[in-house]
Amino acid sequence: MRVGVMGGTFDPIHFGHLRAAESVREAAGLDVVSFVPSGTPPHRTGPLSSALDRYAMVCLATQGHPGFLPSGVELLREGPSYTVDTIRGWKREKPDDEVVLIVGSDTFREMPGWHEAEALFSLCTVAVAERPDSVPLPLPKRTGVLPVEGAGLAISATDVRLRVREGRSIRYLVPDAVADYVTKRGLYR
């Protein structure tokens, strides 16, 4: 099986994440995409919402797509959420799966500084979805890197949280079920 793994804080998950995953799913011929909210992100300050809230929002956002699956694997693991550990765990449990890590072009720029970056590149293909709000990135000519063009959406979780804090609507930036969840739980106020 060809499996995409898309990690992130998903604080909250939005249509930009979903569109990037769908573009990569189509371009790379993936059977499924697993959305993996990070437990303790090592490269940034902690998420504003709880792990349970972020996982619930991922479940709500992916429920309508048969090829999108939520995963709580990083939320159950102690310590920093290193992507290389997640991919190694996947390969241990399902050694026959071909794993494609999905990242945005902004994240790809940061990958050389990631924990065991070279090991990560040896474990999976890295699909790089171009973000419409970033400077185009010349990708290195390197085996295992798949550039993916697609209809990206210029939406950021930072902007979504700001809109909530300011009392503005987040409809059509996030799935309706996520917008309802944010309101009912009083997140980002």
DSSP conformational letter for 39: S
The Cα angle at residue 102 between residues 92 and 97, in degrees rounded to 5 = 30
The Cα angle at residue 90 between residues 88 and 94, in degrees rounded to 5 = 120
| Band of pLDDT at residue 140, cut at 50, 70 and 90 | low
DSSP conformational letter for 111: G
The Cα angle at residue 47 between residues 94 and 109, in degrees rounded to 5 = 65
143-175 pLDDT, tens digit per residue, is: 789 989 877 899 999 999 999 999 999 999 999
**What burial letters (b/e) apply to 14-33, b meaning 16+ CB within 10 Å?**
bbbbbbbbbbbbebbebebb
| Band of pLDDT at residue 106, cut at 50, 70 and 90 | confident
The per-residue pLDDT for 144 is 86
The per-residue pLDDT for 135 is 61
SS3 assignment, position 17: helix
The per-residue pLDDT for 182 is 98
Distance, CA of 30 to CA of 134 (rounded, Å): 25
Domains of the chain: 2-183 (3.40.50.620)
32-89 pLDDT, tens digit per residue, is: 999 999 988 887 777 899 999 999 999 999 999 999 999 999 998 988 889 999 999 9
Query: For residue 125, what are the contacts with CB-CB under 8 A and spacing of at least 6?
Result: 28, 98, 99, 100, 101, 144, 145, 146
79-104 pLDDT, tens digit per residue, is: 888 999 999 999 999 999 999 999 99
For strand 2-8 and strand 32-37, is the pairing parallel, antiparallel, or unpaired?
parallel
The per-residue pLDDT for 168 is 98
The per-residue pLDDT for 189 is 93
